[in-house]
Amino acid sequence: MPAADQPTTERGEQTRQRIVDAALELFEERGYAKTTMRAVADRAGVSLGNAYYYFGSKDHLVQGYYERMQAAHAEAARPALAGRTLLADRWVACEQAFLDVAERYHPFAGRFFAVAAEPSSPVNPFSDDSRPARDASIDIMRDVVTGARVKGDARLLTELPDLLWLAHMGLVLHWVHDGSPGQRRTRLLLRRTAPLLERLVGLSRLRPLRSSVHELLDLVADLRDGELDGSDDPDGAADAPGPAAAAPDERD
């Protein structure tokens, strides 16, 4: 298939950008389902076939969305964190920055999420292909933690950026399903969860909790070894089923 990743020439890169721009515009105007590949190609000034040269499928277009969102969040988070020293405050500021930059895309974020949720998808957040974006996102979380004055179990604090990234994924999951105006319910969830986070981290040093926390951290580490995702290969378990038969590759 075509160069879904890095177009080779200067001109190609421009064309690719034009297609992403057109797609995002149309997604915002009329939503994902109502945006046809033909319309995207038209607005980008290319032929239908040419659009498919750059993007293997309509779903691949959401990759552009993902990258921009990611960058916008990082940019918005930095100033929002400035001057805050409480872990809970920094966490809230970070996630509110996300909710703010993401709000305009909420109407069609569900589709993006569904595409990303598929294990075999290159944009699934746990995949190897997504490692750069994931690492960038975890960097934001590391910033949240290191800039805070917190006391807590040392090992927990080390792992906290990764855990906050998981929490971020959870918040996004709620956000995507949140039909309340301005995603007010997700903001509520965030504000009222944050103090609990702070308190739990504080309690992590105390006797009754510490051993449980360590068990949990051990488990996370064990699961991570042998890679986060484990899948990726279309069907790594192509062994189980019938005898002959083709090797039907669910791919799409």
Partner DNA sequence: GTCTATAACTAGATAGAC
Partner DNA sequence: GTCTATCTAGTTATAGAC
215 in contact with a second copy (CB under 8 A) = yes
User: Minimum distance between the CB of residue 41 and a second copy, rounded to whole angstroms?
Assistant: 20
Q: Do the Cβ atoms of 139 and 218 come closer than 8 Å?
A: no
- Residue written as tokens 């690492």? 135
User: Minimum distance between the CB of residue 26 and a second copy, rounded to whole angstroms?
Assistant: 11
Q: Which does 8 bind (CB under 5 to 8 A by kind): a second copy, DNA, none?
A: DNA
The count of other CB atoms within 10 Å of the CB of residue 240 is: 6
Q: Which does 219 bind (CB under 5 to 8 A by kind): a second copy, DNA, none?
A: a second copy
Q: Do the Cβ atoms of 84 and 90 come closer than 8 Å?
A: yes
Residues 15-34 that bind DNA (CB under 7 A): 15
The count of other CB atoms within 10 Å of the CB of residue 58 is: 18
Among 21, 67, 118, 143, binds a second copy (CB under 8 A): 118
User: Minimum distance between the CB of residue 39 and DNA, rounded to whole angstroms?
Assistant: 7
Please work out the total of residues on this chain that contact a second copy, with binding judged by CB under 8 A.
60
Q: Which does 11 bind (CB under 5 to 8 A by kind): a second copy, DNA, none?
A: DNA
For residue 15, give every residue at least 6 positions away whose Cβ sits within 8 Å of its Cβ, in sequence order, or none: 7, 44, 46, 50, 54
49 in contact with DNA (CB under 7 A) = yes
Query: From the DSSP assignment, how many helices (H) and strands (E) are in the chain?
Result: 10, 0
Q: Which does 57 bind (CB under 5 to 8 A by kind): a second copy, DNA, none?
A: DNA
CA 177 to CA 122: how far, in whole Å?
A: 22
CA 137 to CA 194: how far, in whole Å?
A: 19
CA 252 to CA 234: how far, in whole Å?
A: 10
13 in contact with a second copy (CB under 8 A) = no
Q: What is the DSSP string of 57-126?
A: STGGGHHHHHHHHHHHHHHHHHHHHTT---HHHHHHHHHHHHHHHHGGGHHHHHHHHHHHHSTT-TT-TT
Among 36, 47, 146, 180, binds a second copy (CB under 8 A): 180
Among 42, 43, 52, 114, binds DNA (CB under 7 A): 52
Among 26, 58, 91, 108, binds DNA (CB under 7 A): 58
**What residues make contact with DNA under the rule CB under 7 A?**
3, 7-9, 11-12, 15, 35-38, 45-50, 52-54, 56-59, 252
**What residues make contact with a second copy under the rule CB under 8 A?**
30-34, 106-108, 110-111, 113-115, 117-121, 124, 126, 176-181, 185, 188-189, 192-193, 195-196, 199-200, 203, 206, 208-209, 212, 215-216, 219, 222-223, 226, 229-233, 235-237, 240-241, 248, 250-252
